Structure 1
């Protein structure tokens, strides 16, 4: 009677030793998964290239997105054939640390997109991979082409103390936010954030004509760095 009693540990052990826990992938399944990952990664590569709005386009990062999609698919196909191996791989991947700084938040979106596409490709969900890629690609493309009513710029002015009042008077005519002001031996550097609906920069000529103003610079600003 005692030998017939099966506890939870025995069930778990028998489950892991069962042959059904180990699967095999055919060469066709592997090629289809990698081909789907490659096609989706190439589509992500194309969308990233035509919608990039940052300071400096990085071909190496874009290529990384394509390769990441294929590698993720390969990892998913590997762990899907062996439950024991999947647990070990999860532990191995948990110690990986990526220290590369991501300057553009949209780059993180593309990285998650590449990983998600690789997961669905490796799991054999080819229709989901293609439909998801098309829908996400259209959304990113449409939003990237949307025109903003206000374009934000940084206005940098170098002037002496004698022009301080006149500079303030001219700045009051603009919708500006003071970002920084540095004073060095009666020489002042003022940085202000302004929003312009059209490319009307006539105010720069007025500022440049003031006595004591040395130079006036205007650069586009996206929230993190100037363009």
Structure 2
């Protein structure tokens, strides 16, 4: 039995099922490599369904010219995710659409092979921490008395405990009787943060010291 001119029910259903299966694999990999707090359940479901939707579009339009115009419309969906998401989310959207293209055009084995290969690449890059900053970037805030010269006051300790530092901000506090200095530092590997802070406390008269993580918008892949 056929639908329209060239669609066969059994082959159409098989392509859609394969598209859903490939989308499920892609969605599982997305959940595996994305931190729990950054996961979007709705996006994970969308990744499952998107290849099947693209498969249906490719099956329905038929013909290279019609397929080209339909793909232009499908790829505009990327903007839907690119506005609130990040580069990894956009990559998964393209990934899911590519899987839908292969199943919609009948390359089921090729689509499965490519999906498994790329999912393997995603997982490997995530496990090895590819592209993730290995050095420990920190924000250091030190309070010193007004009669202490803060210029170069801690340079020897920074050379001992860090691979680099830069002064970010200086401001007065407590009606001008104290200075609060903010540094961006990169701690050396295997250094004791407690020892570092203890030596700073001895230098600044045991006033407040705060060591915190640098705020960043970057995410692990």
TM-score category, normalised to shorter length: 0.7 to 0.9
Q: CA RMSD in A?
A: 3.3
Counterparts of 1:102 and 1:179 in 2: how far apart (Å)? 32
What 5-or-longer segments of structure 1 have no aligned partner?
1-21
Alignment match, 1:216:
210
- The alignment status of 1:58 with 2:40, answered yes or no, reads yes
8 Å CA contact 1:37–1:73 kept in 2: the answer is yes
Cα deviations by residue, 1:93-138 (Å, 9 ceiling, x for unpaired): 57765362333x3333222211111111111111011111111111
Structure with the greater alpha carbon radius of gyration:
1
Q: How many residues align?
A: 202
| Closer, same or farther: CA 126–94 of 1 in aligned 2, 3 Å | closer
Give SS of 1:154's match.
Answer: strand
Counterparts of 1:35 and 1:204 in 2: how far apart (Å)? 59
**Post-superposition shift, 1:75?**
1.7
Bigger mean CA offset, 178-187 vs 30-39: 178-187
Alignment match, 2:138:
154
8 Å CA contact 1:149–1:197 kept in 2: the answer is no
Alignment match, 2:193:
201
| Closer, same or farther: CA 121–219 of 1 in aligned 2, 3 Å | same
8 Å CA contact 1:178–1:192 kept in 2: the answer is yes
Alignment match, 1:79:
61
Alignment match, 2:171:
183
Counterparts of 1:47 and 1:35 in 2: how far apart (Å)? 19
Alignment match, 1:102:
85
TM-score computed with the length of structure 2 as normaliser:
0.73
Give SS of 1:190's match.
Answer: strand
TM-score computed with the length of structure 1 as normaliser:
0.71
Counterparts of 1:224 and 1:101 in 2: how far apart (Å)? 14
What 5-or-longer segments of structure 2 have no aligned partner?
none
